[in-house]
Amino acid sequence: MAEPNEPAAGGQLPSTDALLRAKLAELIAQRDAKQAELAPLREECNRVHVEIQALYDTIAPLGQTIKAAMPELSRIENEISDICRVLKGKFMSDGAGAAGAPPPQA
């Protein structure tokens, strides 16, 4: 094929239509080559997407379970704090804590 703006074998300049068709064919070939090159990456992305969705489907219910358990966990934490305050108060009232002695052994 003659270069753009150079006479073809018959001595005539190629038409704009012929030049556009040639360029279009070249661009389509480049696109097809790039799609073929990217196909394995696209497949890997799809596979990873499926794995991520499966993980999300597994984790989402766990998040809901944790969210539902938070009030109970908070209540338990408060009870433990109350017990620790009572024990600390008893320990301090026995006088051992004020003197720096170790707590009495049961």
d(CA 86, CA 92): 10
d(CA 6, CA 19): 11
- In which residue are the tokens 């080559």 written? 33
Sequence ranges of the domains in the chain: 16-93
- pLDDT (tens digit per residue) in 11-31: 677 799 999 999 999 999 999
Written as six digits, the tokens of 37 are 């090159």
- pLDDT (tens digit per residue) in 46-61: 999 999 999 999 999 9
Say what the pTM is: 0.44
Q: What is the pLDDT of residue 105?
A: 62
Sign of CA dihedral 40, 49, 58, 56: positive
d(CA 23, CA 1): 12
